[in-house]
């Protein structure tokens, strides 16, 4: 399952990282709270997140979901939705190469300058509006779980496009930039061994077009 379509609808909050657990133990033992280091353009990303939160109701028809712009989402996906928390996260890398000071989602039409980020945002909004199914706990991590998640991806987008067909081009931009590179990347070649000789020719990935055979006139 591609990394871009994995772990972005989180029905349970992600587990704390080891660093977060260590910081909590330190504070519980009476240690001073660790200083929060400022991140580049932090105030700009807070402003952008607030503007995205204000725009979300037009996409998801919900007013309870908060948006955060992060250097990396808690799930590791480019964008993620947390149904139990009513929170949506988007990786700020999707807005590259724009200067965050120039990004203004509060201005309708500004999304035309960052279609990939807006497409990922729209996709998560589709989950916020339409995804209600969750894999039963005993089946999580199984092939059935992976298949169900992939089916839910297209089902949620189809339901969204039934309401907002004009968002199709943004969703496609996100798929081309985020999903297809995972689907089309060639698999890692096996380590050659004496017992298994390397093949004489390499095979192309399913997403690569086959080159036509060359034809040379007979002598």
Q: Is residue 212 part of a domain?
A: no
Number of alpha carbons in the 13 Å side-chain half-sphere of residue 202:
9
Strand pairing class (79-82; 87-91)? antiparallel
Query: Domains in the chain: how many in total?
Result: 1
Q: What is the pLDDT of residue 11?
A: 59
**With 80 as the cut, is the pLDDT of residue 28 above it?**
no
Q: List, for residues 61-71, the tens digit of each pLDDT value.
A: 999 999 999 99
Nearest residue to 85 (alpha-carbon basis) of 71, 93, 73? 73
Strand order, beta sheet including 87-91: 66-70, 87-91, 79-82
pLDDT 10s digits, 68-104: 999 999 888 999 999 999 999 999 999 999 999 999 9
* Range(s) of the domain holding residue 148: 3-31+41-184
Put residue 144 in one of left, alpha, beta given phi > 0 → left and psi -120 to 50 → alpha.
Answer: alpha
Q: Is residue 27 part of a domain?
A: yes
- Dihedral, CA atoms, 77, 120, 88, 68, nearest 10 degrees? 90
Q: Work out the pLDDT band at 135, boundaries 50, 70, 90.
A: confident
Separation between Cα atoms, residue 171 and residue 118, nearest integer Å? 8
Residue 130 lies in a domain: yes
Specify if 146 maps to a domain: yes
Per-residue model confidence (pLDDT) at position 109: 96
Average pLDDT over residues 19-27: 63
CA torsion, points 192, 195, 201, 203, in degrees to nearest 10? -70
Query: Is residue 112 domain-resident?
Result: yes
User: 142 or 208, which is more confident?
Assistant: 142
- Residue 136 is encoded by which pair of tokens? 């039963």
**6, pLDDT greater than 60:** no
Answer yes or no: is 81 within a domain.
Answer: yes
Q: Kindly give the interhelix angle for 143-163 and 115-130, rounded to the nearest 10 degrees.
A: 100
Q: What is the pLDDT of residue 190?
A: 60
Report DSSP state, residue 68: E
C-beta contacts of 53-59 below 8 A and 24+ residues apart: 54/105, 54/106, 55/105, 55/106, 56/88, 56/125, 56/128, 59/121, 59/122, 59/125, 59/126, 59/129, 59/160, 59/164, 59/167
pTM of the model: 0.72
Residue 19 pLDDT > 90, yes or no? no
For 151-190, how does the pLDDT look when each residue is reduced to its tens digit (9 = 90+)? Answer: 999 999 999 999 999 999 999 999 999 988 877 766 666 6
Q: Return the pLDDT at 132.
A: 87
> Per the domain annotation, does 202 fall within a domain?
no
The pLDDT score that the predictor gives to residue 35 is 60
**Distance of alpha carbon 25 from alpha carbon 34, whole angstroms:** 12
Report if residue 201 sits inside a domain: no
How many CB atoms sit inside 10 A of residue 131's CB? 19
- What are the strands, taking DSSP E only, across the chain? 66-70, 79-82, 87-91
């Amino acid at each position: 399952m591609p990394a871009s379509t994995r772990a972005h609808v989180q029905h349970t909050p992600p587990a704390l990282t080891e660093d977060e657990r260590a910081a909590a133990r330190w504070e519980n033992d009476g240690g001073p709270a660790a200083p929060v280091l400022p991140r580049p353009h932090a105030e700009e990303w807070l402003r952008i997140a607030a503007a995205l939160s204000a725009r979300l109701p037009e996409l998801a028809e919900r007013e309870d979901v908060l948006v955060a712009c992060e250097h990396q989402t808690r799930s590791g996906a480019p964008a993620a939705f947390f149904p139990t928390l009513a929170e949506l996260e988007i990786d700020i890398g999707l807005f590259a190469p724009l200067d965050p000071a120039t990004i203004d989602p509060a201005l309708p039409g500004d999304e035309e300058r960052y279609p990939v980020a807006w497409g990922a945002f729209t996709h998560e909004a589709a989950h916020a509006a339409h995804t209600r199914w969750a894999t039963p706990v005993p089946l999580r991590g199984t092939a059935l779980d992976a298949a169900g998640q992939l089916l839910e991806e297209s089902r949620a987008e189809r339901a969204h496009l039934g309401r907002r067909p004009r968002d199709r081009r943004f969703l496609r931009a996100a798929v081309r930039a985020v999903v297809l590179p995972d689907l089309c990347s060639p698999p890692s070649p096996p380590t050659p061994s004496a017992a298994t000789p390397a093949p004489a020719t390499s095979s192309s990935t399913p997403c690569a077009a086959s080159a036509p055979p060359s034809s040379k006139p007979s002598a």
